[in-house]
Chain A
Amino acid sequence: MNSTLLLNLQNCTIRFGGLTAVSELNFQIHENELVGLIGPNGAGKTTVFNLITGVYQPTSGRIEFDGKSISNLRPYQITAHGIARTFQNIRLFPSLTVFDNVRVAFHLHLLSGVNHAWWRGASFAKEEQDISDKVIELLRLFNLEQHRNTHSKNLPYGDQRRLEIVRALATRPKILLLDEPAAGMNPTEKIELMNLIQFVKDKFNISVLLVEHDMQVVMGICERIVVLDYGLKIAEGAPEQIRSNPKVIEAYLGE
């Protein structure tokens, strides 16, 4: 079923000085697929996200999205292609309100620019109203509407994590990269989050690449899992296969 290839990493390597953070990595994500990316601390998961989103350039290798190479694009261009992400150490716009955090993310779909802002004609007013409606709709969907005028830095931690997901969705991605969304959550929140991710995937009809340390979350919702250790892919497969893979067990339990 999941046949259309969306994201394709080919032999991606990145080095920081002497450290090879990701080495000859190959993996694919198809349309409407929920893939997990796991590995011990420092395995290179976040670095993979940074490679895909153009924050870092690969030392060698190639990344394709929708059949086109995105290896040398700037991050905002990659987002425009349809890749959105959240950050492991939350990076909201702290001094902006919840509303504005999401509004800013509509930037790619904005027709009015500087001149419209100055002239403030009818088309500008209409577009502002449209965006405002869409933001409110998104916030309502994720139960954040009551916080819309709160500065995002004053939001409770769990809400900040959810707001990051909302903000990423506002860019209208085809694939969503989530970096440890369950970090710091209690078990009930984690279950809510699992439902949320599943819901997002179905509702917006997108693929999700999930980095997560909590095995219950990963095993619970991912259709396929890629395992990294010291920058190398050591396993890939369905959750049951990964659970019993000796290499994975060794990587997690040590020698």
Chain B
Amino acid sequence: MDGIYDSQGGIRSNFHIILFSSNSPANLCRVTEFFQQIINGLSLGAIYALIALGYTMVYGVLRFINFAHSDIFMVGAFSGYFFSRFFPSESIFGGISVVFLSMLVCAFLGMLIERVAYRPLRGSSKLNVLITAIGVSMFLEYSFQVKLTKPLSFPVLFPTMSFTLPGGIILSSTQVLVFVMTLLLLIALQYIVLYTKMGTAMRAVSFNPMAASLVGINNDAVISFTFGLGSALAAAGGILYSLNYPSIEPLMGVLPGLKAFVAAVLGGIGNIPGAALGGLLLGVIETFVNGSRYSTYTDAIAFTLLIIILIFRPSGLLGKVTVEKV
């Protein structure tokens, strides 16, 4: 096509030209921009990953899309806003406490929602559960909208600074925070799922709920725990997201939530490392599109990607391909 080198200097998807052309200053600039975009993309993707984990875990144990998950993300951001009043701003201790408390609140909220709205419907049609989930999602959004007519601005929780890496790539402390926090949470999650009793039970329920209950696993407790865990991660995601885009409002979860779900499917739903991978990938791709001349189509990227993946590899990147038994 025309205009790979057009004057606007936006990054085209033609990485070969970017990477393998000679080292003139203009090209160097492109290389820098390329890596800058990667970093920005990864930090957005890390947040998608945190939300995607909740979708994936709940899907794993219940085989259902928890539509209200994206609103738990929103509640996470708002409780962060609320708790920030009680702690010094721009301090590591304060920041961590706020994140921790919000995670706690959302974990309870997630468990409450599961108990009240989903558990009574266990065993009824998927469609009903999905609509209930949508009802819960609308309920959360509209109840927040009753009191909030305009967006709130999110406080600066952590000290901020920025680092310039060799080549002129800029790394903000918020990005570092996002990476570190996501990594720690992922490690913790992987530990819980692989090495604790509860995690083993989770895997058992996800593999075969009937068999799990026959060997004495309390499915209700496991499902409740899964909701708590997923919701806590969404809360962390909500706060990290708000640090980057510090204007919070009741509908803020909708789009990131949908995209995170796409990320979960992309990685292979029910698959924890898959969700993380899918999130990162989606974040990077979106950031690149956003920096290109097709930026107005950014919101469509996630879905286009989703459709392509589902058509060619319905079980996702890391999911196992299964044949329905007849």
CB–CB under 8 A between A and B in the complex? Answer: yes
A residues touching B (Cβ–Cβ < 8 Å)? 16, 46, 50, 55-56, 87
Contact A46 B326 (CB under 8 A): yes
Is B214 engaged at the interface, CB distance under 8 Å to the other chain? no
Residues of B within 8 A of A (CB): 323, 326
A50, B324: Cα distance in complex, Å: 11
Give the residues in chain B near A55, CB-CB below 8 Å. Answer: 326
Q: Could you tell me the distance between the alpha carbons of A87 and B326 in the complex, rounded to whole angstroms? A: 8
State A50–B326 Cα separation when bound (angstroms): 8
**Which residue on chain B has the smallest CB distance to residue A47?**
B326
Nearest to A89 among chain B residues (CB) is B326
**Cα distance, A55 to B325, chains bound together (Å):** 9
Complexed CA–CA distance, A6 and B309 (Å): 41
B124 nearest CB across to chain A (Å)? 15
Chain A residue contacts of B323, Cβ below 8 A: 16, 56
Q: How far is the CA of A16 from the CA of B326 in the complex (A)?
A: 13
Residues of B within 8 A of A56 (CB): 323, 326
Looking at the assembled complex, report how far the CB atom of B325 sits from the nearest CB atom of chain A, in whole angstroms: 9
| Least CB distance, B324 to chain A, in whole angstroms | 9
Q: In the complex, which residues of chain B have a beta carbon less than 8 angstroms from the beta carbon of A16?
A: 323
Bound-complex Cα distance A46 to B326 (A): 8
Residue of chain B at shortest CB distance from A50: B326
Which of chain A's residues have a CB closer than 8 A to the CB of B326?
46, 50, 55-56, 87
Report Cα–Cα, A111/B323, bound state, in Å: 34
- 7 of the cross-chain contacts (CB-CB < 8 Å) are A16-B323, A46-B326, A50-B326, A55-B326, A56-B323, A56-B326, A87-B326
| Cα(A181)–Cα(B323), bound, Å | 25
Cα distance, A251 to B229, chains bound together (Å): 50
Could you tell me the distance between the alpha carbons of A55 and B323 in the complex, rounded to whole angstroms?
A: 10
Nearest chain A CB to B321's CB is how many angstroms away? 9
Top 3 A-B pairs, shortest CB-CB distance: A55-B326, A50-B326, A16-B323
Q: Which residue of B lies closest to A49 (CB)?
A: B326
